[in-house]
Amino acid sequence: MILKQRFRWQAAGSNLLFAANIFILFLLVFSSQVVLPPWLQVLGRMHPLLLHFPIVLLLVAAILTFIRLREPAAEAWKQQFTAALLLTGALSAVVTVIMGLFLSKEEGYNGSGILQWHKWSGVGICWVASALYWLGQSATPRLRLQQAGVVITVLLLVITGHLGADITHGENFVMAPVTPAGKKGAVPFDQALVYEHLVKPILEEKCMNCHNAGKAKGELAMDLPQQLLKGGKSGKLFVAGKPEVSLLLERLHMPLDAKKHMPPAGKPQLTDEEVALLYYWVKGGADFKAKVAALPAHDSLRLLAATMLQPEEKKEPVHDFSAADEKLVEKLNNNYRVIYPIALHAAPLVVNCYNKDQFNSKAIEELLPLKKQIIEMHLQKMPVQDADLKTISQFQQLRTLNLSFTNLKGKTLDALASLPHLESLSLSGTPVTMAELQALKKAPALKELYLWNTALTAADLQQVQSAFKQVAVIKGFMDEGNLLKLNQPQLMNTAMIFRDHIQLLLKHPIRGAEIRYTTDGSAPDSTQSPVFKDSLLIDKNTTIRAIACKKGWYASEPVTYSFYKSSYIPDSILLVTQPHSSYPGIGPKTLIDLQKGGVEHGNGKWLGYNGKPMEVVMLFKKPVPVQQVAVGSLSNVGAYIFPPAKIEVWGGVDAQHLKLLKRVMPVAGKKDDPVTALDIDCSFPLTSLSCIKVIMTPIPKLPDWHPGKGNPGWVFADEIRFN
């Protein structure tokens, strides 16, 4: 009886297995014509949940196929058990394959080569496992064929699993830890490329599990530079040079619980350093070929890279000259001039001079017999004249030359530009000018230029740094340390408008930098203003002014951020008049998405109207007490965008019973007005409202002083707030 039931279940399982394989064949043949209902999509998403089950069953069955028992009864039982495992494994494999085929129909799985190989290797497992089961049920056992089949099955399991990991986690996910490309930071600083060795590893680790060639969520893949430049369904991933309007940074800075925050909650998040690195990469132009070592010495991206890469390889200098005569060196040494080798028995020599009363031009000329061995010359505080530089230029092996606080005027600096190995030059405490320093741009090996306490102004020093991009310009050295100006604090919030409250998040890329701030519009200082901690709760309209401070650095320039409260969000919104097709924003949601448009009118965050007013109606399911409507607008007279001629706010219980609550006529735009984002206040007595209509009218004609005089002006809107 038990045997009969077993055969009955096996027969049913075999028939089910055959039918499922036919169904798989149907899905493969008619894949392009199959449209899945939502409930089948749910089954498809269970593919990752079930796929481990057939793997275990088939691996155990494969092991048992190679085991032989001496007792006939035990061997017969083992064969029956193996057949049951094969049947169960094959059935679970076909179910897994069917779910996988359902899942591949969803958006984001773009039919790449990896996906196709994964699909067909999975189907191969299903068909080989089914064939193995049916072969085992035949009257004539074929042991060698069965063993070959299970070997093929195991190989397919390994290949399919590897390809599935690549689809889910990005290419080369399994082998990444043991391959050079997977070892983050394995490249020395002086060999590193910004994108290849810094940006790409971040994207691979934190983003490509969902945005790769096989699984392009939101139609965005990040494997190749051209894919990053193309962007996805939501638009371009970044705007080179403008991180503040780039979708990549916007999604990274969203609150963790926001639906569009990337990476999604539960996935590994980017560190502050990684976010800052992406920010500075985009700000620097998103160059895919730039070398880290080619960045300016004090560039923020270079400073960050230095903490994430191996230190620059220190190459021992090669000196292809013989040592000097020891008796000659001993003869030239005296009480005011010391000459010594850089190391015991080394050929290169260092010269230090003392006692300025005993120093003259002859003291340098006497050293010419050692011009092939001297690599460092320290003449600080000696009365060196401009004419002496011609003599110094004969020391062709010089690497370091200190001329700080000498009598140089800078008229003959071009003589030093001929030194082929000069790496470090100090002119601190001399009256050199910007024009005279230009001669040093020809110095082929110059890496450090010390210019503290010179006649150069702060603006001149900034210009020097721009002119000498590959040179570290040391411009703020004083007794208390190297005083360089910090860059401004970085705002990590993406939304500047909030409903109830918002946590202000400020960061600074320099470790140990302290942020001080004010909330009353006054200028912050480095001693009295409060210190910004992890965050700050803001629950009303607030203007934050902040600076970065650190001992040994000049404080940064102040930065200003304004946050606005909008107590109510309409339940529905309707644009009565449609914006111009060039500036559609995101439709009516542009006005209530809690996002300010900034000053870039082409960033997709503005509604633009030309020659006709913007008219919008907003409805609330329940009446709300309102006493202020604030309308966001833009003034950019050079782009034909002017403040509105007037704004009218109407309100009432419904669209048919509205009354005028406020009419505002902003100040007209003037010729030299800067580009400014406006927040136009329309306040009125507290009123309970269910329907509000806002009409914003552009100026009918541009003024006579404007290049487009007589043409209708543009008016732009980005956010309407209610309080």
Note whether residue 314 is domain-resident.
no
Note whether residue 318 is domain-resident.
no
**Average pLDDT of span 504-524:** 84
Give the separation between CA 120 and CA 99, rounded to whole angstroms.
14
**pLDDT band per the 50, 70, 90 thresholds, residue 13:** low
Residue 49 predicted with pLDDT over 70:
no
Structure confidence at residue 133 (pLDDT):
66
**133 in Cβ contact with 90 (< 8 Å):** yes
Structure confidence at residue 479 (pLDDT):
38
Of 543, 565, 587, which one is at a domain's C-terminal end?
Answer: 565
Q: Look at 245 and 681; give whichever has higher pLDDT.
A: 681
| Gyration radius from the chain CA atoms | 37
Residue 304 predicted with pLDDT over 60:
yes
Q: Look at 179 and 532; give whichever has higher pLDDT.
A: 532
Give the separation between CA 568 and CA 625, rounded to whole angstroms.
9
Note whether residue 512 is domain-resident.
yes
Give percent of the chain with pLDDT exceeding 90.
26
Give the separation between CA 391 and CA 40, rounded to whole angstroms.
86
Give the separation between CA 123 and CA 446, rounded to whole angstroms.
63
Residue 477 predicted with pLDDT over 50:
no
Residue 338 predicted with pLDDT over 70:
yes
Same domain, 461 and 506: no
**pLDDT band per the 50, 70, 90 thresholds, residue 573:** very high
| Ranges 10-24, 174-188, 245-259, 550-564: which has the least confidence | 174-188
Same domain, 348 and 303: no
CB contact set of 233 (below 8 Å; sequence gap of 6+) = 218, 219, 220
Residue 4 predicted with pLDDT over 50:
no
What distances in angstroms separate CA 408 from CA 183, 387, 426, one per listed residue?
Answer: 51, 9, 12
**Average pLDDT of span 445-474:** 84
Same domain, 343 and 465: yes
Same domain, 338 and 465: yes
Coil, strand or helix: which one is 145? Answer: helix
Q: Could you give the maximum distance between any two Cα atoms of the chain, in Å?
A: 120
Same domain, 578 and 561: no
- Most confident segment among 277-286, 675-684, 689-698: 689-698
Find residue 516's DSSP bridge partners. Answer: 531, 547
Write phi, then psi, for 378 (nearest 5 degrees): -110, 100
Note whether residue 320 is domain-resident.
no
**pLDDT band per the 50, 70, 90 thresholds, residue 160:** low
Same domain, 577 and 561: no
Residue 481 predicted with pLDDT over 60:
no
Residue 239 predicted with pLDDT over 50:
yes
Of 482, 504, 535, which one is at a domain's C-terminal end?
Answer: 482
Residue 384 predicted with pLDDT over 80:
yes
* CB atoms closer than 10 angstroms to residue 614: 25
Note whether residue 106 is domain-resident.
yes
Of 308, 340, 365, which one is at a domain's C-terminal end?
Answer: 308
Note whether residue 177 is domain-resident.
no
Same domain, 203 and 296: yes
Structure confidence at residue 185 (pLDDT):
45
Note the pLDDT tens digit of each residue in 175-203: 555 454 444 446 777 788 889 888 888 88
Q: Could you please report the per-residue DSSP string of 152-205?
A: HHHHHHHHHHHHHHHHHH-TTTTTGGGSGGGSTT-SBGGG-BHIIIIIHHHHHH
**380: which DSSP letter?**
T
Mean pLDDT (the chain, rounded): 80
Structure confidence at residue 17 (pLDDT):
64
Residue 1 predicted with pLDDT over 50:
no
Q: How many CA atoms does the CB half-sphere of 554 hold within 13 Å? A: 12
Note whether residue 165 is domain-resident.
yes
**Average pLDDT of span 363-375:** 93
Note the pLDDT tens digit of each residue in 689-698: 999 999 999 9
**Average pLDDT of span 385-391:** 93
**Average pLDDT of span 424-437:** 89
Same domain, 140 and 214: no
Which residues span the domain enclosing 388?
A: 326-482
Same domain, 11 and 136: yes
Same domain, 490 and 435: no
**pLDDT band per the 50, 70, 90 thresholds, residue 152:** confident
CATH number, domain of 552, equals 2.60.40.10
Same domain, 159 and 18: yes
CATH number, domain of 413, equals 3.80.10.10
| Ranges 18-27, 368-377, 464-473, 551-560: which has the least confidence | 18-27
Note whether residue 222 is domain-resident.
yes
Residue 484 predicted with pLDDT over 50:
yes
Structure confidence at residue 547 (pLDDT):
92
Same domain, 106 and 147: yes
**pLDDT band per the 50, 70, 90 thresholds, residue 480:** very low
Q: How many CA atoms does the CB half-sphere of 651 hold within 13 Å? A: 23
Query: What is the number of domains present in the chain?
Result: 5
**pLDDT band per the 50, 70, 90 thresholds, residue 290:** confident
